[in-house]
Amino acid sequence: MQKQWSSFRITLLLYLVVLILPFSFYFVYSSFETIKTDTLIVRQSSWIPGAIEHTSNENDILQIDKNLNNIAQWAKKNADSKLYIGAKSLSQDLSDVTACWSASKKDLSAQKGKCYDLAENMAVNIEKMVYLKQKEIINVFYISLLLAMIFTLLLIYFVRVYIHRQMKKHAIHDHDTDLFNQKFFLAELQTAVARAKRENSPLSIFFLSVTNLKGGIYDAKQQKHLAQKIAHVISMSTRDSDTVCRYDEEHFAILMPMADREAALHLETRLKTALSHYEFHVDPQPEFDFITTQFDNSETEESFITRSKN
């Protein structure tokens, strides 16, 4: 159940990424559209004071009216913004400019100075407001980007851990020595025991244990070195039909189908000689225990393994 739940969590995370992506793209798109619109409003509001001061024809009047209308629409969407730092509200400043301009355009020579000052004040405040607003958007964007990166890295980590566990679960070789692992050995033992019972053929197991591998005598690098060298010696001493495995951290096992006690003891003697003459380049030299066991047709593979290790 736990393994199924782990798989479900990984799948759920992947679905979340797929669902989050459209929202992320929409946020980026809407942010850039907001920045684009706000920048345009800044340009239009900055243009109005100069245009009011130098208005001389109908086209200028129409353009000022158009810009004020655009600003009015924008102001409705941003009326509640706390980023506007004028003495009055954005709506009030715009209303003052619009009222002054409505009175001024009837007589282009009147109130130009007052309208210019009102429009200039509003333009400066809008520019500052947009600057603060865009800064806020950029900060949110960077925070969102950072969170997305952290989430992605976590997702990659969990996926890698899950894949590693699945590979380890289904692996048949020991990572350090390239020998078969315990899982494969037990599967082969089950097959070999069934065959030995069916054909009444001999079957032997040889267990080699490194008695001083633990206890802090060797560091992790030396332990790995020893395991690799022992695996090499065992592999060079066995038959092609034998199954050699690293049973656990301290034990190596050899499954020998069609090997009676005499043949199994002959292998044990060969290994003892080979290991005693091998230079492992560690201090102290490793110490070994050797157990060779013959299969009894009346026992199970579990009892056979237990008897062989003990």
pLDDT of residue 1: 36
175 in any annotated domain: no
pLDDT of residue 3: 46
Which of 138, 169, 200 lies at the terminal end of a domain, its last residue? 169
Q: Same domain, yes or no, for 99 and 209?
A: no
- Secondary element (H or E) of residue 310: none
pLDDT of residue 150: 87
Q: What is the pLDDT of residue 19?
A: 79
Position 213 in a domain: yes
Residues 144 and 208 occupy one common structural domain: no
Predicted local distance difference test score (pLDDT) of residue 169? 66
What CATH code is carried by the domain that includes residue 219? 3.30.70.270
User: Is there a cis peptide before residue 202, judged by omega within 30 degrees of 0?
Assistant: no
**49 in a domain, yes or no?**
yes
Domain boundary among 145, 169, 193: 169
Residues 149 and 259 occupy one common structural domain: no
Q: Are residues 148 and 296 in the same domain?
A: no
Low-confidence ranges of the chain (pLDDT < 70): 1-8, 10, 56, 107-111, 169-170, 310
CA distance 284 to 215: 13
Task: Decide: 292 and 264 in contact? Cβ < 8 Å.
Answer: yes
- Asked if residue 176 is part of any domain, the answer here is no
Residue 134, domain member (yes or no): yes
- Choose one of 135, 169, 203: the last residue of a domain: 169
pLDDT of 190 reads 92
- Bridge partners of 205, per DSSP, are 255, 293
Q: What single string gives the DSSP state of each residue in 253-292?
A: EEEEET--HHHHHHHHHHHHHHHHT-----SSPP-EEEEE
pLDDT at 4: 46
177 assigned to some structural domain:
no
- Say whether both 197 and 161 belong to one domain: no
152 shares a domain with 114: yes
- The predicted structure's pLDDT at residue 24: 79
89, 79 Cβ separation under 8 angstroms: yes
User: Could you tell me where the DSSP H helices lie in 78-181?
Assistant: 90-104, 112-170
Contact 245, 174 (CB under 8 A): yes
69 plus 196 within the same structural domain: no
Residues 69 and 207 in one domain: no
- Asked if the structure places residue 29 within a domain, the reply is yes
Residues 66 and 33 in one domain: yes
Distance (Å, whole) CA 200 – CA 182: 25
- pTM here is 0.51
**Does one domain contain both 205 and 131?**
no
Number of domains making up the chain: 2
Tell me if residue 293 falls in helix, strand or coil: strand
| Same domain, residue pair 27 and 112 | yes
Query: Domain residues for 29?
Result: 2-169
Sequence-distant (6+) residues with CB within 8 A of 17 are: 151, 152, 155
C-alpha 252, offset from chain centre? 36
Q: Is residue 14 part of a domain?
A: yes
Q: In terms of domains, do 194 and 151 share one?
A: no
